[in-house]
Amino acid sequence: MSKPKILVARSIFPETIARLEEHFEVESNQGDQSWSKTQLIDKLKGKQGAFTTGSERIDAEVLAACPELKICANMAVGYNNFDVDAMTACGVLATNAPDVLTETTADFGFALLMATARRITESEHFLRAGKWEKWSYDMFAGSDIHGATLGIVGMGRIGQGIARRGALGFGMKVIYHNRSRLDAKLEAECKASYVSKEELLKTADHVVLVVPYTPASHHTIGAAELALMKPTATLVNIARGGIVDDAALAAALRDKRIAAAGLDVFEGEPKVHPELLQVPNVVLTPHIASATVPTRRAMADLAVDNLIGFLVHNTPVTPLNPAVLASK
């Protein structure tokens, strides 16, 4: 029997390709070329499975052009690159890569918060530019993390990881806002109290965003929300571009309406709003929150487990639209 055909849309670990090749006929983009939608469709035609990252948009147009496609396995926990409803309607399984990146991403959220509040990159640029001539009492004075109030918007697994780091490691008071309130046991474990979004923005010293991107969460933070925040507050976005109105944020940073921001994700990335590149009080990183070698390996492995699980054994590990399985 011939092996199912798989497309690997981006460059990935050679070991990942080797694992896939044990079960599939694999075409891979190891040269990591940027494909247009038309090129993606051409490559996907005749394939039963796709190994995707958050960069490939799988929508009704792609699905209509690729009727053999049965599964797209995202090597990311976020899946706003998938039109899951359209995939379900076409009987295409969607899978993501949750859990394996939770602690690594929470570590990074905390690192970005600390770098932002303590002005680490801004001061490093100053030093590298040869501007450090003498000590002064207020040189790069930032804000404290320990004992401060941490406001988390989006209290899924990663949000909870950040809450635990803040409460247990740094003695922070943790407040959170989420679509639904956590049960009492989880709240106690995270030492976190549920508040309205408005109260969170008004009272937090540091706001960390970890909400998934959906049309409803578009611009969760815009000019009106930034205006509620303390002028000394910091804002960290490790969620998705589009959760923050980047133009409004750049203006708030420029006018010092909030103290600082740390951003790992951007509207329209890899492009970054030009005004964000001009303001000094922002730490900018290129969407690397889950980027440690062991975690990226675990994410790739989970995507492979899903492809093998579904196409070989009909038991994917982390399906997003299990209705597709039920209808088989």
Annotated catalytic sites, by residue?
240, 269, 287
Q: Is 181 strand, coil or helix?
A: coil
The residue type at 317: V
Question: Would you state the structure tokens that stand for residue 40, as one six-digit string?
Answer: 């993606």
Least separation in angstroms between residue 162's CB and ligand GLV is: 15
Residue nearest to ligand GLV (CB): 78
- The smaller minimum CB distance to ligand GLV, of residues 77 and 87, is found at 77
Least separation in angstroms between residue 106's CB and ligand GLV is: 13
- Write out the residues near ligand GLV by the rule CB under 6 A: 54, 76-78, 101, 290
As a whole number of angstroms, the longest Cα–Cα distance in the chain is 74
Least separation in angstroms between residue 173's CB and ligand GLV is: 28
Least separation in angstroms between residue 242's CB and ligand GLV is: 12
Q: For the range 212-215, what are the long-range contacts, defined as Cβ-Cβ under 8 Å and sequence gap of 24 or more? A: 212/78, 212/80, 212/154, 212/156, 212/239, 212/240, 213/78, 213/80, 213/239, 213/240, 213/241, 213/242, 213/243, 214/80
User: CB-based contacts of 322: which residues, under 8 Å, 6+ apart?
Assistant: none
- The smaller minimum CB distance to ligand GLV, of residues 77 and 253, is found at 77
- The smaller minimum CB distance to ligand GLV, of residues 54 and 316, is found at 54
CB atoms within 10 A of CB 105: 24
The residue type at 89: A
- The smaller minimum CB distance to ligand GLV, of residues 78 and 222, is found at 78
